């Protein structure tokens, strides 16, 4: 038996992992940071190879983990988790300071940070496990409670991007209603996700063949968590 949903019972913390390339910064959301050894202090993180942050870490051999607090709004998480740094500067308008090696430490909505120097990188299929020696770590705000992955999903109603190490795909239902061709596609203004009525949103219980107008009023963008009013029809 391979009931992948049982993996949701594992506990994780929500973090932004960031790095640099020259004067450029980028970061993305990960929930797979863990400490390996206390002495010397070593940590590991699993990062999707497709992420721009992956490229930056590979080249600069440094990464910073900014540990997100429960107060972090979904839009803030969406900015780092569901947009790509290839066409947007994720750090614009975000408070940050530089680590020893010059990578950005996020100061907004974070409880603490860890900077590490990569000592080893292990290829694991779609992801790389970066292992790093901790070069600096500090509590940013003692009063902030770190956000667990379960809190993000269950309390904040957050979603999991397709590139995440813990993403589990649900198969779309093939049943299709008549007239689906006339239904308009809608684009999320926040993250660029496109709702296609021919596909629906099977991960969140929306069958293929459901018009955007017929989505439940509390339906949110599966990629960044904003509501239906942040969408606009695509003219074809
Ligand atoms: Fe979105």
What is the model's pLDDT at position 178? 55
**Cα(104) to centroid of ligand 1, in Å?**
25
**Cα(185) to centroid of ligand 1, in Å?**
14
Q: Tell me the two tokens of residue 232.
A: 């606009």
- For the chain, how far is it from start to end, CA to CA, in angstroms? 44
Tell me, rounded to whole angstroms, the distance of Cα 85 from its chain centroid. 12
Exposure on the CB side of residue 5, measured as CA atoms within 13 A: 2
- The Cα–Cα gap between 10 and 16 comes to 19
pLDDT digits (tens, 9 = 90+) for 91-144: 999 999 999 999 999 999 999 999 999 999 999 999 999 999 999 999 999 999
**Cα(128) to centroid of ligand 1, in Å?**
26
**Cα(222) to centroid of ligand 1, in Å?**
7
What is the model's pLDDT at position 164? 83
**Cα(30) to centroid of ligand 1, in Å?**
18
What is the model's pLDDT at position 5? 86
pLDDT digits (tens, 9 = 90+) for 50-106: 999 999 999 999 999 999 999 998 888 988 987 778 878 999 999 999 999 999 999
Q: Measuring CA to CA, which residue among 110, 105, 27 is closest to residue 72?
A: 110
What is the model's pLDDT at position 8? 84
pLDDT digits (tens, 9 = 90+) for 182-222: 889 999 877 778 999 999 999 889 999 999 999 998 898 88
**Cα(82) to centroid of ligand 1, in Å?**
7
- 102, 108 Cβ separation under 8 angstroms: no
Find all residues with CB under 8 Å of 34, minimum gap 6, and list them: 43, 44, 45
pTM: 0.78
What percentage of the chain's residues is helix, strand, coil (to nearest 5)?
20, 35, 45
**Cα(190) to centroid of ligand 1, in Å?**
5
**Cα(157) to centroid of ligand 1, in Å?**
13
């Amino acid at each position: 038996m391979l009931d992948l949903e049982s993996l949701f019972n594992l506990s994780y913390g929500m973090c932004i992992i960031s790095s640099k390339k020259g004067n450029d910064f980028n970061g993305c959301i990960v929930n797979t940071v863990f400490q390996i050894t206390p002495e010397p202090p070593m940590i590991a993180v699993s990062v999707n190879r497709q992420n721009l942050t992956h490229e930056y870490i590979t080249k600069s051999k440094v990464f910073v983990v900014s540990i997100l607090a429960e107060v972090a709004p979904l839009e803030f998480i969406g900015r780092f988790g569901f947009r790509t740094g290839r066409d947007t500067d994720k750090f614009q308008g975000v408070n940050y300071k530089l680590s020893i090696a010059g990578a950005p430490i996020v100061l907004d909505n974070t409880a603490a940070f860890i900077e590490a120097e990569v000592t080893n990188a292990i290829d694991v299929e779609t992801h790389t496990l970066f292992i790093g020696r901790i070069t600096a770590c500090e509590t940013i705000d003692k009063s902030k409670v770190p956000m667990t992955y379960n809190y993000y999903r269950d309390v904040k109603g957050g979603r999991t991007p397709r590139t995440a190490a813990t993403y589990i795909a649900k198969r779309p239902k093939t049943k299709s209603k008549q007239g689906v061709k006339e239904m308009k596609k809608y684009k999320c203004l926040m993250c660029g996700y496109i709702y296609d009525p021919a596909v629906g949103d099977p991960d969140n219980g929306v069958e293929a063949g459901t018009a955007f107008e017929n989505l439940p009023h509390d339906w949110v963008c599966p990629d960044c968590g904003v509501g239906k009013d942040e969408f606009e029809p695509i003219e074809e």
